[in-house]
Structure 1
Amino acid sequence: MKIRTIIKPFALSALIISALISCTDLEIEETDSIISKDTGDFTFSPLADPASSLSDLYNKIGGDFQGQDNIYALNEVTTDELLVPTRGTDWGDNGVWRQLHTHTWNSAHLFIKNAWNTLNQNIFRASEIIESNPSPAIIAEAKFLRAYNMFFVMDFYGSVPFREVDEGPKVNPRVLTRPEAYAFVLQDLTEALPDLPSTGPDLTKTVKATKEAAQFLMAKLYLNASVYSSSGEFDSADMDKVIAAVDAITASGFAIESEKSYFEIFEPTEDTETIFFLRSEVAPRIWNTLHYNQNAPDNTGGGWNGFSTLAEFYDKFEGDPNTNYEGDGQEERRGIVWDNTNANDLNLGIGYGFLIGQQYDSDGSMLKNRQGGPLSFTKEIPSLVGNTEVQGIRLIKYHPYDPIPDTGDDTSPFIESFRRHQVFFRYADAYLMKAEAMFRKGQTAEALTMVNTLRSSRDNTPALTSLDESSLLDERARELFIETWRRNDLVRFNQFTSPWALKEVSGDPNVNLFPIPETALLSNPNLVQNPGY
């Protein structure tokens, strides 16, 4: 496997770590869709410094998408990819995690409400920037960010409330239907494109809106058009637009990474795949899955022992079904558990990807659980409650030993930005979107060739001999696990309502949309609750 042997620690944010440990934020934020007081007549005052407000919005979105709850949980914990089993009293949290995984949520669910408020607030803030007469470049970036947030409101809830900046709290926001929201997002991206910069792989530029990031989001729109229109049919013209958008990204220099290992793509260093990343602290992607006794030099407090994956998801990968040590025949993307020999030689400790079986410390010693027994993660999780602290395979893409570029100044803003680096739009995703579009057009042989080209770039990953919907969905799972797209994929492939281990509820198409939060319905009579809620 292409795993590097020189590793440096990076500093983690103690504030983020302490705030996110198996907790739920009960604070309610006022947003443009929740009206709490009457202020009389309203006049919009343009922002004094739109550029500064744009920077603030980037930072806010980075924070909104970094947590383990809310937006991330709706995208991942609702799927067969992630679950948060209750171990003793840990991670009980009044059932909020279990309800997501079993699709038994309701309109009062805290994460559903928080995601709604956060995304709609970001939409309104972007509108304020756009309407403050800034430069064309700032307008373009703000339109991209508005489209980015509206995409997720449309994807999660269907209906999208929209308030014009010159409408005061006496005016109830109008509500865009899903097709209207689709058109709105597409218009924002289309209008933004001419004034967005174009870039190839470049960490100093891909943290902001670019033509390539807009083209990526356009490809997502076109690929999911059948869902957002409720037609259920993949239109060939839409698939052609997916292909054209991805081809434009390719022409800018993005490509499947061939020089680095798979997990090095997620380091805060240059690669050929990162199209857009958020300045998001990656601590929740690391510590929410690891056991309390797994640690790194900059976090001797260990992990939070929460997030796990299902045995059936792990079994989608090549390799020994019961272990993941080096030499077990696993494909590169499934990762590795360092055994004591490797840990001694390379000073690694925590592994990559899917962590199953005995875990080791960086000195090569076998780790123990809090009761003094072997820290050996089991494959099966018998229930969502009543589990021991070692049940469930853990999974990790970002790593506590990832290096920071050496610029000679560890306090520089450049260095600080590298400590907050969550990859959100990746070329491999765009590449698989193109392959899927070709498959939907009936070009199965060409799509299979594309998929196998990607697989050949990942070590120990044999070629597929055929391609159908199931194998294409599985390939996206193997390549893109815990990258925030699993729910979107399952809905598009009509598999979100299918049963999987520990989820008894199935077959109800209404759960393809989340409910409109109760607070939003009370504050805006123009909203109508989604069917089934």
Structure 2
Amino acid sequence: MRINIKSLFAVCTAVVFTGCTDLDVDIESQYTSYPTTDIAVEAKMADVYFHLRGVLGRRYMEAQTLSSDEYTAVSYGGGWYDNGAYAHPSLHNYQPEDATIDWMGELTGGITKANTVIRDLGGDEAGELIAPARAMRAFFHFIMMDCWGDAPILDHLLAEGELINRSSRGEVAHWIESELLEIIPQLTDEVSDNTYGKPNKWMAEALLVKLYINWAVYTAPSVDQYDAATAKNEKLNDCIKYCDEIIASGKFNLGSMPYAEKFGPDNGSHVEDFIYAMPYDTYTEKGMQYGRARTWKKAGDVPISYYGMALSNSAGGYMTMNPEFSKLFCLDGDIRNNSVIRGTAYVYDPDTYQPTSEVALDTNGDPIVLTQTVTLEEGSNQIELNVGDDIEGYNQGYRSVKFFVIDDDYKNGRDQSNDLPIFRYADILLTKCEAILRGGTPTNGDTSMSLFNQIREYAQAPLLTAKPTLQDLLDERGREFFDENWRRNDMIRFGTFENEYGFHRKDFPTARFEKTCRIFPLHTNVMSTNPNWKQNPGY
């Protein structure tokens, strides 16, 4: 977000990234009456808006992406195995001690901040003044429910010694719905630099759309009882209604800029596809480290990396694309193909984020040629997913350059300036398409095919000539939203999460296929501070 840094952020971004995992916390305001000037309210709200910046920039991404069919976390001679923190999600073999799932406390901490703001600004009677804090509180609950199932409904500040139990996932879904329906009329419909990265009406409606398209998942009697083949979603027409409101607003579009530019280090409020995004800057809004995980392992050790420049830092390179997922990038003319390095790597132009004709070289001066298949080193410990600590190992699997790296950012602790989209207009179009395919009532002359083809047209990919199937839609969502943390969510809804992909295979010794693995175990730290909670089934 290099061109959209706001002066307020410089004042307000001393965000505390050590969220409160212990829910038995008494928080008292230092004010008897908090000032309600625009500046005072904005300063108070900023700590809530950007609370999850660090989590979204790494750990949340790892948990979502590595448990889907997008990526496998490999190790290099055991390096980056880290006690299985990254390999476990790839195999659905999560452990309660894994660092990749140790961030529920950030969610409850963010909710506590939101509740503090709500209280200090006057409580439920404050209406429009507290609506943004309530939107963020609903968003934090949504993530917690999506990842861990049953969750506490934290709609007030806990008194000293107060313990709270987890509510069923369905109860949490209904609570989120009621919160959003109540506050949507109170939220601003402004879309500008001033509202970028903050909750407005459209952010809340997009969150409601996500809730409704997953309604059958979230309201199933238990996580393992959701069956994609037989599930009935009673909220499909409601989902379509709010998609229509966002579409009719005229405030968003797909094609104002090329696909690659939407995710580059200069993205920001000018990206008209972004409904809600988390702003990042390498100096003032740190935490975005997607490139570190996805970049070829030795990209920092060559004179010119495939990003078109020398890099001042090494890459982790521990996330390599699964061959099953990489096969999606095969459509003739599809501009999204260039966001994935397939086979021979070419040097990219750092201004256009497009490959040139110059071949990228490895540390031996040979062309970097990535293999679509990922093969473990012979004789190695299988559970470490060891591909070998050499050029052959580093070349295993295709690589993403969607969140493009530039050294001006990367040298600063590998913190990038690429803003992270959370809700996009493209997602609203494909979600309406899905709701119609699943039995919702078409509106405004839209058909599943016409909505689908809006995406294909701007991606310069072949248009459909017949109604898309659900498999067509899942594949298209993979092409459009890869690296954006929705793949796990999609796969559970479409019923493909328990499929075989990467090393998540029936013959792999530690791979798991139980439906209870659709949600994560509660981390050991959460269990130790909430003794009234029970571990999720299956863990």
Q: Normalising to structure 2: TM-score of the pair?
A: 0.78
Asked if residue 62 in structure 1 is aligned to residue 73 in structure 2, the reply is no
Residue 287 of structure 1 corresponds to which residue in structure 2? 292
Q: Name whichever of 443-452 and 419-428 sits farther off.
A: 443-452
One-letter amino acid of the counterpart of residue 290, structure 1:
T
Matched-pair identity in %: 23
* Aligned with residue 433 of structure 1, among 401, 423, 431: 431
The 8 Å contact of residues 46 and 132 in structure 1, kept in 2 or not, is answered as no
1:490, distance to aligned residue in structure 2 (A): 0.7
DSSP-derived class of the 1:305 partner: coil
The 8 Å contact of residues 279 and 421 in structure 1, kept in 2 or not, is answered as yes
One-letter amino acid of the counterpart of residue 396, structure 2:
Q
1:11, distance to aligned residue in structure 2 (A): 13
One-letter amino acid of the counterpart of residue 434, structure 1:
K
Residue 19 of structure 1 corresponds to which residue in structure 2? none
* Aligned with residue 239 of structure 1, among 236, 240, 246: 236
Residue 167 of structure 1 corresponds to which residue in structure 2? 158
Residue 398 of structure 2 corresponds to which residue in structure 1? 393
Q: Give deviations 1:207-248, integer Å, cap 9, x for gaps.
A: 211101100000011111101111646546400011001111
Residue 224 of structure 1 corresponds to which residue in structure 2? 214
Residue 369 of structure 1 corresponds to which residue in structure 2? 362
* Aligned with residue 120 of structure 2, among 132, 138, 160: 132
Gaps of 5+ in 1: 1-7, 13-26, 320-328, 336-351, 405-417
Residue 360 of structure 1 corresponds to which residue in structure 2? 347
Asked if residue 251 in structure 1 is aligned to residue 248 in structure 2, the reply is yes
Residue 529 of structure 2 corresponds to which residue in structure 1? 523
Q: Name whichever of 217-226 and 87-96 sits farther off.
A: 87-96
C-alpha separation between the residues in 2 aligned to 1:495 and 1:442?
Answer: 22
C-alpha separation between the residues in 2 aligned to 1:9 and 1:127?
Answer: 31
C-alpha separation between the residues in 2 aligned to 1:160 and 1:57?
Answer: 20
C-alpha separation between the residues in 2 aligned to 1:203 and 1:88?
Answer: 47
The 8 Å contact of residues 275 and 424 in structure 2, kept in 1 or not, is answered as yes
Asked if residue 334 in structure 1 is aligned to residue 337 in structure 2, the reply is yes
Q: Name whichever of 374-383 and 439-448 sits farther off.
A: 439-448
Residue 413 of structure 1 corresponds to which residue in structure 2? none
DSSP-derived class of the 1:45 partner: coil
C-alpha separation between the residues in 2 aligned to 1:479 and 1:420?
Answer: 17
Gaps of 5+ in 2: 6-15, 35-39, 282-286, 300-304, 350-355, 377-384, 410-415, 506-510
Q: Give deviations 1:232-281, integer Å, cap 9, x for gaps.
A: 46546400011001111111114442342222222415233110111235
One-letter amino acid of the counterpart of residue 313, structure 2:
G
C-alpha separation between the residues in 2 aligned to 1:283 and 1:447?
Answer: 35
Alpha carbons of structure 1 residues 115 and 45: separation in structure 2 relative to 1, 3 Å = same
Alpha carbons of structure 1 residues 11 and 380: separation in structure 2 relative to 1, 3 Å = farther
The 8 Å contact of residues 438 and 447 in structure 1, kept in 2 or not, is answered as yes
C-alpha separation between the residues in 1 aligned to 2:19 and 2:425?
Answer: 36
* Aligned with residue 204 of structure 2, among 211, 214, 219: 214
The 8 Å contact of residues 199 and 206 in structure 1, kept in 2 or not, is answered as no
Q: Normalising to structure 1: TM-score of the pair?
A: 0.79
C-alpha separation between the residues in 1 aligned to 2:17 and 2:204?
Answer: 31
C-alpha separation between the residues in 1 aligned to 2:21 and 2:312?
Answer: 41
Alpha carbons of structure 1 residues 66 and 105: separation in structure 2 relative to 1, 3 Å = same
C-alpha separation between the residues in 2 aligned to 1:10 and 1:198?
Answer: 23
Asked if residue 115 in structure 1 is aligned to residue 106 in structure 2, the reply is no
C-alpha separation between the residues in 2 aligned to 1:236 and 1:158?
Answer: 18
C-alpha separation between the residues in 1 aligned to 2:235 and 2:47?
Answer: 35
The 8 Å contact of residues 278 and 420 in structure 1, kept in 2 or not, is answered as no
The 8 Å contact of residues 150 and 172 in structure 2, kept in 1 or not, is answered as yes
DSSP-derived class of the 1:175 partner: coil
C-alpha separation between the residues in 2 aligned to 1:527 and 1:151?
Answer: 19
DSSP-derived class of the 1:316 partner: coil
C-alpha separation between the residues in 2 aligned to 1:30 and 1:274?
Answer: 27
One-letter amino acid of the counterpart of residue 200, structure 2:
T
Listed as ranges, the matches of 1:37-76 within 5 Å are 44-45=28-29, 48=34, 51-67=42-58, 70-76=59-65
C-alpha separation between the residues in 2 aligned to 1:361 and 1:220?
Answer: 35
1:94, distance to aligned residue in structure 2 (A): 1.8
1:361, distance to aligned residue in structure 2 (A): 6.9
C-alpha separation between the residues in 2 aligned to 1:515 and 1:237?
Answer: 29
The 8 Å contact of residues 180 and 204 in structure 2, kept in 1 or not, is answered as yes
1:164, distance to aligned residue in structure 2 (A): 6.1
The 8 Å contact of residues 498 and 506 in structure 1, kept in 2 or not, is answered as no
The 8 Å contact of residues 29 and 116 in structure 2, kept in 1 or not, is answered as no
C-alpha separation between the residues in 2 aligned to 1:139 and 1:215?
Answer: 17
How many aligned positions are there? Answer: 465
C-alpha separation between the residues in 2 aligned to 1:491 and 1:111?
Answer: 19
Alpha carbons of structure 1 residues 34 and 298: separation in structure 2 relative to 1, 3 Å = farther
Listed as ranges, the matches of 1:459-498 within 5 Å are 459-463=460-464, 465-498=466-499
C-alpha separation between the residues in 2 aligned to 1:132 and 1:298?
Answer: 49
DSSP-derived class of the 1:83 partner: strand
C-alpha separation between the residues in 1 aligned to 2:180 and 2:448?
Answer: 27
One-letter amino acid of the counterpart of residue 530, structure 2:
N
Alpha carbons of structure 1 residues 511 and 432: separation in structure 2 relative to 1, 3 Å = same
C-alpha separation between the residues in 2 aligned to 1:178 and 1:373?
Answer: 53
Q: Give deviations 1:183-207, integer Å, cap 9, x for gaps.
A: 221222122212211035x444232
C-alpha separation between the residues in 1 aligned to 2:365 and 2:182?
Answer: 60
Alpha carbons of structure 1 residues 130 and 296: separation in structure 2 relative to 1, 3 Å = farther
C-alpha separation between the residues in 1 aligned to 2:110 and 2:27?
Answer: 20
C-alpha separation between the residues in 2 aligned to 1:273 and 1:63?
Answer: 23
Alpha carbons of structure 1 residues 161 and 250: separation in structure 2 relative to 1, 3 Å = same
Q: Name whichever of 503-512 and 440-449 sits farther off.
A: 440-449
DSSP-derived class of the 1:176 partner: coil
Residue 511 of structure 1 corresponds to which residue in structure 2? 517
C-alpha separation between the residues in 2 aligned to 1:422 and 1:203?
Answer: 16
C-alpha separation between the residues in 1 aligned to 2:17 and 2:292?
Answer: 26
DSSP-derived class of the 1:377 partner: coil
C-alpha separation between the residues in 2 aligned to 1:10 and 1:374?
Answer: 35
Asked if residue 191 in structure 1 is aligned to residue 197 in structure 2, the reply is no
Residue 263 of structure 1 corresponds to which residue in structure 2? 260
One-letter amino acid of the counterpart of residue 535, structure 2:
Q
Residue 11 of structure 2 corresponds to which residue in structure 1? none
Listed as ranges, the matches of 1:139-158 within 5 Å are 139-158=130-149
1:516, distance to aligned residue in structure 2 (A): 1.8
Alpha carbons of structure 1 residues 365 and 118: separation in structure 2 relative to 1, 3 Å = same
One-letter amino acid of the counterpart of residue 123, structure 1:
I
1:525, distance to aligned residue in structure 2 (A): 3.2
1:499, distance to aligned residue in structure 2 (A): 1.3
Residue 412 of structure 2 corresponds to which residue in structure 1? none
Q: Name whichever of 129-138 and 489-498 sits farther off.
A: 129-138
Residue 301 of structure 1 corresponds to which residue in structure 2? 313
Alpha carbons of structure 1 residues 214 and 243: separation in structure 2 relative to 1, 3 Å = same
Residue 378 of structure 1 corresponds to which residue in structure 2? 371
Residue 457 of structure 1 corresponds to which residue in structure 2? 458
One-letter amino acid of the counterpart of residue 121, structure 1:
G
* Aligned with residue 103 of structure 1, among 92, 103, 107: 92
DSSP-derived class of the 2:397 partner: coil
C-alpha separation between the residues in 1 aligned to 2:462 and 2:497?
Answer: 27
DSSP-derived class of the 2:145 partner: helix
One-letter amino acid of the counterpart of residue 230, structure 1:
A
